[in-house]
């Protein structure tokens, strides 16, 4: 058995709130399944899409540890070996055994879905604690299968923190039961020649899911009165101190001096001046010639302001800071993996509240860039805080700049919640963006950014309209608005996170709040900046 890749303990916390549930997730890579003492065993078998092999032919492919038990159960259940099918059962020796048939031509998204589903039925429902996955039949797909199953396991083992109190009546002297600690030890069985490459894939998949995707899921699920601007910024400050990142807060006074009128307009209705642009920097050892700028929308709650949201649309607006969490997660991964490039996250932490001082439709404000903006809809606040933040980030002249935001309902209506929309000032990046989405399993689609889309933003009283009064294609028009502040000097990509919530989960994540964006962005960034 080869040395395990490490014992991962990942946690995060907020001031005044108990630590997030500790996750124990151990991954090993081995060349022999017989050396593993496991209570769960799984074979992943690539098959043609349709039809699958007949049962007798299938049995001929199975290893000794699975064949006898599987034969009896498969015949009884009339199992058909076709792409997407799986069979899990408890063997006489008490081991949970599973066969997973995967389309040999499946892409990353399909593999992640398949891995998530079988992890539910074959592993976690059966409370398996030590799982061996046989990938020796995967052929050229070994690394892709390893990524999918490790990612699905790491996503599943995480549980959202809850605010429920103990309701059970305790007997005298009885203590409340502690939450069961989530843990899984995973061993991937591969051919000896594949060990090093699979170890590298597993390490990356673990980092991206635990330190990235799960971090986004945790932050975006916090209650609005828990993850306030103050608590969020305090958490970022502590995290930066612990990780030895550079930390700078541009609070109310600093933003006033910076003339960040677009940002400050949004927070005029806030009861507390605890907002700001948080600038966090990871700097690699040695000199780096490349600089990645990550901008994130961090609205800890969005009422819509004077353009008040209806109740149904206001529910869940505590998650309107997910874009900032994605940007933070990418920086966290860069630090953990010691990327050889400087990475700076510019997080626009704010809230959009109603009140006598709140900004109003028909107001005209002056942005940090000096552009005057006619306010049309106070619920289009995301583009306002991002305008100043993008302009500030662009001043550092980064090699690449990306922003992440739960920005428009129009993007959801245009593309649904299984893809996210991407927009760029470099049309030449379209193919690379699509490719990164397909390789990561977090799919995106680029929208056109022709100049005439911005004609609706022409104002008779200011340099620019915030948005049009009604109609149009707001996801594209919002991106046009942002591009004015991002500028043209730096390659820039805007990600409208329409897929950040999807009913029933998406790809490898089984919950509605799925942390979309981290896998896609890290895949894209690595390719663009030459990070191995």
pLDDT digits (tens, 9 = 90+) for 429-446: 999 999 999 999 999 999
| Nearest CA-CA partner of 153 in 112, 191, 103, 189 | 112
Pinpoint the residues of the chain covered by CATH 3.40.220.10. Answer: 7-161+183-217
Q: Give yes or no for a contact between 152 and 508, defined as CB atoms under 8 angstroms apart.
A: yes
Q: Which of 96, 221, 369, 383 is catalytic?
A: 383
Q: What is the pLDDT along the chain (532 residues), one digit of tens a residue?
A: 333 333 233 333 333 333 334 457 889 999 999 888 999 999 999 998 666 677 778 888 889 898 889 999 999 999 988 888 999 999 999 999 999 999 999 999 999 999 999 988 878 888 899 999 999 999 999 999 999 999 999 999 887 767 887 666 667 766 655 555 568 899 999 999 999 999 999 999 999 999 999 999 999 999 999 999 999 999 999 999 999 999 999 999 999 999 999 999 999 999 999 999 999 999 999 888 999 999 999 999 999 999 999 999 999 999 999 999 999 999 999 999 999 999 999 999 999 999 999 999 999 999 999 999 999 999 999 999 999 999 999 999 999 999 999 999 999 999 999 999 999 999 999 999 999 999 999 999 999 999 999 999 999 999 999 999 999 999 999 999 999 999 999 999 999 999 999 999 999 999 999 999 999 999 999 999 999 9
> In the chain, which residues fall in CATH 3.40.630.10?
221-529
Q: Answer yes or no: are the C-beta atoms of 290 and 344 closer than 8 Å.
A: no
* Nearest alpha-carbon partner for 157 in 509, 442, 435: 509
248 is annotated as an active-site residue: no
Query: 């649904």: which residue's tokens?
Result: 416
d(CA 266, CA 269): 7
Backbone phi, then psi, for 84, in 5-degree steps?
Answer: 95, -10
CA–CA distance from 152 to each of 99, 399, 465, 482 (Å)?
A: 16, 32, 44, 34
Query: Is 452 in contact with 472 (CB distance < 8 Å)?
Result: no
Q: Where are the alpha helices (DSSP H) in 315-408?
A: 322-336, 382-394
Q: Can you say how many angstroms the Cα of residue 380 is from the centroid of all Cα atoms in its chain?
A: 23
Compute the distance between CA of residue 519 and CA of residue 330 in angstroms, rounded to an integer.
9
Strands of 372-374's sheet in order across: 364-366, 372-374, 464-465
Strand ranges (E), 148-272: 182-189, 246-250
Which of 82, 309, 360, 468 is the catalytic position?
Answer: 309
Could you tell me which residues are beta bridge partners of residue 403? 295, 494
Q: Going by C-beta distance under 8 Å and a sequence separation of 6 or more, which residues neighbour residue 312?
A: none
How far apart, in whole angstroms, are the C-alpha atoms of residue 23 and residue 39? 19
Give Cβ neighbours of residue 244 (< 8 Å, ≥ 6 apart). Answer: none
Type and span of the H or E element at 114? helix 108-119
- Distance, CA of 269 to CA of 299 (rounded, Å): 13
Structure tokens at 298: 């961090």
340 in Cβ contact with 430 (< 8 Å)? no
CATH of segment(s) 7-161+183-217: 3.40.220.10
Q: Is 97 marked active-site?
A: no
Q: Which uninterrupted H or E stretch holds 364?
A: strand 364-366
Dist CA 81 CA 45 (whole Å) = 10
Tell me which DSSP letter residue 71 carries.
H
Alpha-helical (H) ranges within 96-228 are 108-119, 142-157, 195-206, 214-220
Nearest to 379 by CA among 479, 312, 318, 309: 309
Cα–Cα dist 209/203, whole Å:
10
Helix axes 518-529, 430-440, angle to 10 degrees: 130
DSSP one-letter code for 35: G
- Strand 86-90 vs strand 364-366: parallel, antiparallel, or unpaired? unpaired
Q: Please give the biggest Cα pair distance in the chain.
A: 79
Task: Tell me which residue of 466, 447, 445, 438 sits closest to 523, measured CA to CA.
Answer: 438
Helix 322-336 vs helix 229-243: angle between axes, to the nearest 10 degrees?
10
The Cα 245–Cα 236 span in angstroms is 10
Cα 48 versus chain centre, distance: 31
Place of tokens 């932490």: 349
Residue 22 zone, left/alpha/beta (φ > 0; ψ -120 to 50; rest): beta
For residues 481 and 486, give the distance between their C-alpha atoms in angstroms, rounded to a whole number: 9
Q: What is the pLDDT of residues 62-71, one digit of tens each?
A: 898 988 899 9
Strands 276-282 and 246-250, bridge-based pairing:
antiparallel
Per DSSP, what are the bridge partners of residue 134?
A: 43, 189
Bridge partners of residue 493, in order along the sequence: 402, 424
Let me know: does 494 contact 405? Beta carbons within 8 Å: yes
**Assigned CATH class of 221-529:** alpha beta
pLDDT of residue 124: 85
* CB of 352 closer than 8 Å to CB of 308: no
């Amino acid at each position: 058995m080869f040395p395990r890749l490490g014992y991962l303990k990942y946690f995060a916390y907020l001031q005044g709130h108990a630590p997030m549930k500790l996750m124990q997730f151990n991954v090993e890579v081995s060349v022999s399944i017989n050396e593993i003492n496991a209570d769960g065993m799984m074979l992943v078998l690539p098959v043609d899409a349709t039809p699958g092999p007949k049962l007798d032919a299938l049995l001929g492919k199975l290893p000794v540890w699975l064949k006898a038990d599987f034969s009896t159960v498969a015949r009884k259940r009339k199992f058909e070996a076709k792409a997407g099918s799986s069979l899990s059962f408890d063997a006489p020796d008490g081991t949970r055994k599973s066969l997973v048939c995967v389309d040999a031509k499946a892409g990353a998204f399909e593999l992640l879905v398949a891995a998530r589903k079988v992890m539910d039925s074959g592993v976690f429902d059966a409370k398996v604690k030590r799982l061996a996955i046989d990938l020796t039949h995967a052929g050229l797909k070994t690394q892709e299968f390893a990524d999918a199953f490790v990612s699905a396991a790491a996503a599943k083992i995480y549980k959202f923190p809850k605010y429920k109190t103990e309701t059970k009546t305790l007997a005298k002297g009885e203590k409340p039961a502690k939450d069961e600690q989530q843990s899984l030890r995973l061993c991937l069985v591969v051919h000896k020649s594949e060990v090093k490459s699979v170890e590298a894939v597993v390490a990356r998949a673990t980092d991206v899911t635990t330190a990235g995707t799960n971090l986004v899921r945790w932050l975006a699920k916090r209650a609005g009165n828990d993850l306030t601007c103050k608590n969020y910024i305090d958490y970022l400050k502590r995290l930066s101190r612990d990780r030895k990142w550079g930390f700078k807060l541009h609070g109310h006074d600093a933003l006033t001096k910076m003339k960040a009128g677009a940002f400050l307009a949004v927070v005029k209705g806030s009861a507390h001046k605890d907002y700001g642009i948080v600038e966090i920097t990871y700097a690699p050892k040695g000199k780096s010639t490349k600089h990645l700028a990550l901008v994130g929308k961090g609205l800890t709650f969005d009422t819509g302001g004077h353009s008040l949201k209806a109740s149904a649309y206001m529910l869940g607006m505590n998650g309107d800071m997910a874009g900032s969490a994605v940007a933070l997660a990418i920086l966290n991964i860069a630090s953990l993996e010691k990327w050889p490039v400087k990475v700076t996250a510019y997080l626009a932490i704010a809230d959009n509240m109603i009140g006598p001082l709140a900004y109003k439709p028909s107001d005209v404000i002056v942005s940090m860039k000096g552009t005057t903006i006619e306010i049309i809809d106070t619920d289009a606040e995301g583009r306002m805080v991002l305008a100043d933040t993008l302009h500030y980030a662009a001043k550092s002249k980064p090699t690449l700049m990306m922003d992440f935001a739960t920005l428009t309902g129009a993007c959801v209506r245009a593309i649904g919640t299984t893809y996210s929309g991407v927009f760029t000032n470099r049309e030449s990046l379209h193919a690379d963006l699509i490719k990164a989405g397909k390789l990561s399993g977090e799919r995106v689609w680029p929208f056109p950014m022709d100049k005439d889309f911005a004609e609706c933003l022409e104002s008779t009283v200011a340099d620019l309209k915030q948005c049009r009064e009604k109609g149009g294609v707001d996801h594209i028009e919002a991106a046009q608005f942002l591009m004015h502040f991002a500028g043209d000097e730096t390659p820039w990509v805007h990600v409208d996170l329409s897929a950040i919530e999807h009913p029933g989960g998406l790809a490898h994540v089984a919950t509605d709040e799925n942390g979309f964006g981290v896998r896609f962005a890290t895949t894209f960034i690595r390719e663009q900046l030459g990070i191995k």
